[in-house]
Amino acid sequence: MNLDELNNLEEKELVDIFEQCCSARRWFKLMATSTPFQSTRHLEDTARLHWSVMEQRDHLEAFDGHPKIGDPASLKAKYAATHSMASNEQSLVEQASDKTIVELADFNQRYEDKFGYIFIVCATGKTAEEMLALVKTRLHNPPEQEIQIAAGEQLKILLIRIQKLLA
């Protein structure tokens, strides 16, 4: 899809498109009412601006739209709305050893137990070993710091997905 095609979609279609980029309802509804976009840069800047006004409940709603890192079954079963955008984001995890996958699952569970939401990281281009190191490090963060880090990772993810829209 190109920018002109995106700008000519009806609001309901835009809602559906932007929901694939981020499952925070407030964000994708704001995006759907922000057309027309003058350029790709304008689209990305608008996405950043709308994300910057999201509150913790919006962040948590967005985080809930992700599969657990290393858990492709949850990608298929629970996250159909974002499946087409998210399908390749964890592709390097498939190359990891069984030991690394098990350890990643363990630390993901520890993270979720501590913070109340799944570990959010922009997985594109990262190996399972890199993500394992990140979750181990971030597990030590205080909750108020960690939610801000996770929200920053979510922004990276949604911007990558917006780029995929126009590819």
Active site residues: 66
Torsions phi, psi for 108 (to 5 deg): -60, -40
Distance CA 75, CA 81 (A): 10
Residue 112 near residue 143, CB atoms below 8 Å: no
| Cβ burial, residue 33 (10 Å; 0-12/13-18/19+) | exposed
Query: Angle CA(93)–CA(145)–CA(149) in degrees, nearest 5?
Result: 35
Residue 143 near residue 150, CB atoms below 8 Å: no
Distance CA 129, CA 161 (A): 23
The residues, any chain, with a CB within 8 Å of residue 58's CB and separated by 6 or more, are 24, 25, 26, 27
Which 8-state DSSP code applies to residue 140? T
